[in-house]
Amino acid sequence: MSPKQQRGEATVELLLDAALRVYAEAGEQGLTVNAITQASGVSLGSLYHHFGSLNGLTDALMNRWLGRMLGELVTAVQGTRTARTGIRAIVEAYLRFVQEHHDAALLLHSPMADRRGMANGQELRDAQEARLSPMTAWIQLHVRSGELAPLPLGLIESLVMGPVVGVARRRLSGIDDVDLDEAARILPERIWLSVAGE
């Protein structure tokens, strides 16, 4: 990699890291081009050169962290032997991600992320296809074996992820009535009952 490419990558990292910090400190309303350039020390021209717009930067930031989270879920499930232990691994990995990467989790569960997801759901899914393929293959394998119920893939994903995302959102919104460690102990078995094969 040339020195120019290295500088470009370093600039991209500075901007993405600064954008997450600004979002965590000031929320969506405070996530402005000026705030990000001030926090990063990167020029306005460089921001536009690398991302095209504020939306381009925030999309890249969300894709970066969504990719990391999906990577952790895939790693967790690949280390399991049964569908039941896989469900447990998915739940635990997701909730651990929320605890360890609070600012990124806050962004991924934000109204801004929801709006982008609703407007560009298939595009976002396509962008993460490489990360999602192993999870899809894992689900299909366990449906074929009879361990998971023969439901459409989207329903299995919703039954598994829906409760976990709900708990994460609750906690991230400041509602303190659910302990994530307790949820990691209770949810896997409850979720398993909803997707287990006959």
31: left (phi over 0), alpha (psi -120 to 50) or beta: beta
Q: What is the greatest pairwise CA distance in the chain?
A: 59
Inter-residue contact 124 to 66 (CB < 8 Å): yes
Give the position of tokens 């962008």.
Answer: 127
Q: How much is the CA Rg of the chain, to the nearest whole Å?
A: 19
Give the position of tokens 């287990």.
Answer: 196
Give the position of tokens 């952790």.
Answer: 72
CA distances from 90 to 135, 164, 172, 176 (A): 10, 9, 19, 22
Kindly give, in sequence order, each residue whose CB lies less than 8 Å from that of residue 178, ignoring residues fewer than 6 positions away.
167, 170, 171
How far, in Å, CA of 94 to CA of 161, rounded? 9
Kindly give, in sequence order, each residue whose CB lies less than 8 Å from that of residue 150, ignoring residues fewer than 6 positions away.
143, 197
- What is the model's pLDDT at position 38? 96
- In the chain, where does DSSP find H-type helix? 3-30, 33-40, 44-51, 54-78, 83-100, 102-108, 111-127, 129-144, 153-172, 180-195
Say how many C-beta atoms besides its own lie within 10 A of residue 98's C-beta: 24
* Sites in the chain below the pLDDT cut of 50: none
Inter-residue contact 109 to 172 (CB < 8 Å): yes
Identify which of 172, 196, 178 has the alpha carbon closest to the alpha carbon of residue 88: 196
